[in-house]
Every structure is written in C-alpha cells, then in structure tokens.
Structure 1
Amino acid sequence: MNMKQATTIDEVILFLDEIIEAAKLEQSPIGLFPTLYRIVTLKIKSGIVNGSFQNCERMEKLDVIFANRYLKAYYEYRAKGKPSECWKFAFQKTETYWPIVLQHLLLGINAHINLDLGIASAQVSTPQDITDLKSDFEQINTILSDLVGSVEKGLIKIWPTLTYILKLSGKIDNFFIDFSMKTARDGAWKYANEFVLLPENQREASIQERDIKISEIAKLVSNPGYLVSGVFKFIRLFERGSVAQKIIDLSKIE
C-alpha cells in the first residue's frame, strides 16, 4: 500500500477524503475519526486563508506535519506494519462491534493530540522560539472547542435519544469535553515544550515512552468504568444507520 504523505494542507484534505471514501465502501468505523479531522482541517485552512493565525506559513507547516503522523500510522496499519501503539489500539477497535461513535472519535483524538500534536509542534519550533507558537496553538484549541456542540448534534443524528442520555448523565458529556477539549491539549503543549529540548538521539526513546502512556489512556477510553461502559453498550445497540451513514451524518456537522 502506498504510504502517502502530504506536502500541503490541500493534500491533507485530499488524502483524508480518500480514507473516508474507502471506509464508507468497506463499512468501516476507521473512517469516523478522519471525518472529524477533515472538519478541523478545513477550519484551520480557512483560518490560514483569512490570516487568523499569527504565523500562517508556520501553521500550514504544522498542520501538514501533524496530519502526516496520522497518515503514516493509518497506512502502516493497513499494510500490517507497526504504527505507534496508541494508534494501533485505536485502529484495532474499529474492527470490533462494541465501541460507539464517541469512543472511536476519542481514541483517535487521544492518539493524535496526546502523542502527535506535541511532536509536530516541537518539529516546527526551536527551544528559543517555541513560545511564539503558543498563540496559534491556542487558536487551534478555540477551533476544537467550538466543535463540541456540533459533534454532540452529529451524534444525536446517529442515535436520536442520545440527547436524553446527555441530560441524564453529565458524566458522558463531561467525559468528552474534559478529555478531548482540555486535558489532551494541555498535555500536548507540555510535551511539545519538553520534546523540543531533547537532542535528536533521545527523541525516539521519548516518543516510545509517551506512546506507552497514551496507550494506557486509550484503554480507559475503551473501558471507562462499569456505569459509563454500560450506558455506551446500550447506546451501541440502538445506534441508527450503517457505518457509512454514520460517517455521512458526522460529516455534516459545522
């Protein structure tokens, strides 16, 4: 399988489209995360075009490096290679029945933000100028935060009565917001500032060590405790539509 790597943000979007379309044909949940990721990428592209970032050239470079880590993991997994453990775990779960759409999204977010974002941020920076990136990094945070309500609306299309579950169990709602919209991003920035200081010959060992930690978080996302897991299983039994339809519904969020 061709290991595609993007050189521009438009190529990132093109390659995500290819992965999404293949997943729809295969009825594979592996297409759920890139559907959300595509929406984020389009918003970042719009910000670059409109000059919303402090350094738009650097932001596109960051976006491409960041996306290429996901693309590399995806193609390695499809070729039966060895992606990072947290990505391997996320991809393997797309081949099982029980994870709900929310869990598939969180597993992708966990790997991509907790592992990949810090590395990519460090790779477009130096120890001397990484603080200059913080403003644009926070702008990405704003884009992600704005998606929270839209994602919930998309999930409600897939399972209409989810709105009542969200009202009855704040735990599920907070589980999504606290994990993906705050904890992961804060950890990514902290790791970026640690990683940028490392000499080249120590970076791979650092990535492997962090990968192990992020894989443990993935296990918690997959099995978040008796109560929440029980509710998730109930949701899974009544999720509406084929996998392809779920991907289509998710793609319509704004």
Structure 2
Amino acid sequence: MTISEALTVDQAVDRMEALRSTLPTGDGVAVFNRMYLRVTRLVRERLGETYFADPAGMSELDAVFAARYLDAVEAASDGRRPAPCWRPLFELRNRPGIHPLQYALAGMNTHIEHDLPLSVLDTCRLLGSRPEDVRADYHRINDLLAQVEAEVREELLPGPQAPAAAEALLHVLGVWSIDRAREAAWATVEALWELRHTPAVEDAVAGTLSRTVGMVSRALLTPVE
C-alpha cells in the first residue's frame, strides 16, 4: 500500500507536525514544511465548512497531494534520491547563502507545478471523475495556496535595513510567479488527461515535467548572500 492510499488529511498534518519538531529551524526542508503545514491546516478547516463544492473529493485530493511531498521526505530519510523535481530542495537544504524564502518558494514551485496536477489525475482515477468535475474546487485550493504564499513572502522578505540582500533575492525570485504556476499546473492536468490511454507517453511526459520543474526549483535556490 502506498502512502497516498493510506493517508488522510489528519495523518498528513500529524506527519508534518512531527517533521517540524525534529528538523532544525534553518533547514530548507523545514522552511517549506512549516509553510505547507499552514496550507494543509487551512484546507482541513475549510473541509468542515461550505468552502468546497465536494468536501469528500477535496479531502481525497489533499491527502494524495500531501503524500507526494511526504514520499520525497521519506525517500531522503531512507538515503534514496527523491524525484527529480524535489532533488534541489533536498540537496541544497543546508547550502550557505540561500534565503529561507527561496526554500519556501522552491518547494511550492515543485508542489504546485508537478505534484498538484499529478494528484488531480490520481484523484480522478480513484473517484471515477474527470478533471472538469474538480476544476472549481481545484481553484479554491489554489486560492488557499496563494494566500499562504503571500503571507510567507511578507514574513520572510528582508527588511529595509538590508536593501542589497532584498534586491538580490527579488532578482532570483522574479523567475517564478504563483499565478503562472497555477495556470501551468492546470494545463498539465488537461494535457496528461488526454494521454491517459497511452500510459507510456503519459509517463514520459510526466518524467520530463519532473526534471523541468526541478530545473526551475534549482534556479530559485541560487545563493543570494
């Protein structure tokens, strides 16, 4: 049984909380984990409200989504290499000169542009639905991701007392936008859905996506200090 089959939203929160208590504060994975824990808690709160059109379906999607990140954590802990899209974050997690905000956004880049579209497809297969059936709630999840991303940017950006550091950081982070990432992720959903009857081609495209997303994450982790 895979993590994605066994996981619930509560279990995902529990695992991320356990990671938060064990990882050093400055560790790059710890930085992203804190950010993603905020997102997952927020989704869990909304599942009990009227925020989502299909709370049960979104609970499944959120669990599958979280499992992809936790799979990468488990691989690194076991001495295995995570998927190419996650390797930059895990390989550079303690590299000097990388600002915490870079770790947060590199992790978000990987999780949105790679993990989210594949998780949508996995959830559609599990529930017997189509991407169009989850599109409205997909955008609601993205709105929560964008909310937390904006909060984290504000919290972690260097203050006016460090103008040089802020300028270098903004130059590096200028290669990525959460709005473009969200648009690209949905385009990936639609493209891979059309390839679902040709698994070899679908796998090849997904593998290329993982490597391409990893390249952007590595660029986001260019040292700025």
For Structure 1 versus Structure 2, the TM-score category normalised by the shorter chain is: 0.7 to 0.9
Residues 123-179 of structure 1 show CA distances to partners (whole Å, capped at 9, x for unaligned) of: 1126972112111111112212222442133215xx54478679x859829946x82
User: Structure 1: 5+ residue runs without aligned partners?
Assistant: 224-228, 234-254
Residues 9-58 of structure 1 show CA distances to partners (whole Å, capped at 9, x for unaligned) of: 01000000111111137x53321101000111111111111021011101
Matched, 1:189 2:190: no
- Number of residue pairs the alignment of both structures matches: 219
Instruction: Name the residue aligned to 2:73.
Output: 74
Q: Please give the alpha-carbon distance, in whole angstroms, between the structure 2 residues aligned to 1:107 and 1:187.
A: 16
Give the alignment's Cα RMSD to 1 decimal. Answer: 2.8
Q: Please give the alpha-carbon distance, in whole angstroms, between the structure 2 residues aligned to 1:170 and 1:87.
A: 24
Equivalent runs, 1:172-187 vs 2, <5 Å? 172=170, 175=173, 179-187=176-184
CA contact (8 A) 1:99 1:222 kept: yes
Instruction: Name the residue aligned to 1:142.
Output: 143
Residues 187-214 of structure 1 show CA distances to partners (whole Å, capped at 9, x for unaligned) of: 1111111222323732332221111211
Instruction: Name the residue aligned to 2:109.
Output: 110
TM-score where L is the length of structure 2 = 0.85
- Structure 1 residues 222 and 129: alpha-carbon distance in aligned structure 2, compared to 1, 3 A threshold: same
Q: Please give the alpha-carbon distance, in whole angstroms, between the structure 2 residues aligned to 1:94 and 1:165.
A: 23
Q: Please give the alpha-carbon distance, in whole angstroms, between the structure 2 residues aligned to 1:181 and 1:31.
A: 21
Q: Please give the alpha-carbon distance, in whole angstroms, between the structure 2 residues aligned to 1:32 and 1:190.
A: 28
CA contact (8 A) 2:89 2:218 kept: no
Residues 55-94 of structure 1 show CA distances to partners (whole Å, capped at 9, x for unaligned) of: 1101000000011010011110121112111201111110
TM-score where L is the length of structure 1 = 0.76
- The sequence identity of aligned pairs, in percent, is 20
CA contact (8 A) 1:55 1:136 kept: yes
Equivalent runs, 1:4-19 vs 2, <5 Å? 7-19=7-19
- Structure 1 residues 53 and 169: alpha-carbon distance in aligned structure 2, compared to 1, 3 A threshold: same
Instruction: Name the residue aligned to 1:119.
Output: 118
Q: Please give the alpha-carbon distance, in whole angstroms, between the structure 2 residues aligned to 1:42 and 1:193.
A: 28
- Structure 1 residues 174 and 55: alpha-carbon distance in aligned structure 2, compared to 1, 3 A threshold: farther
Counterpart residue identity of residue 179, structure 2: K
Matched, 1:57 2:56: yes
- Structure 1 residues 100 and 169: alpha-carbon distance in aligned structure 2, compared to 1, 3 A threshold: closer
CA contact (8 A) 1:114 1:187 kept: yes
User: Structure 2: 5+ residue runs without aligned partners?
Assistant: none
Instruction: Name the residue aligned to 1:206.
Output: 205
Counterpart residue identity of residue 131, structure 2: I
SS at match of 2:114: helix
Equivalent runs, 1:126-137 vs 2, <5 Å? 129-137=130-138
Q: Please give the alpha-carbon distance, in whole angstroms, between the structure 2 residues aligned to 1:128 and 1:30.
A: 33
Q: Please give the alpha-carbon distance, in whole angstroms, between the structure 1 residues aligned to 2:56 and 2:16.
A: 21
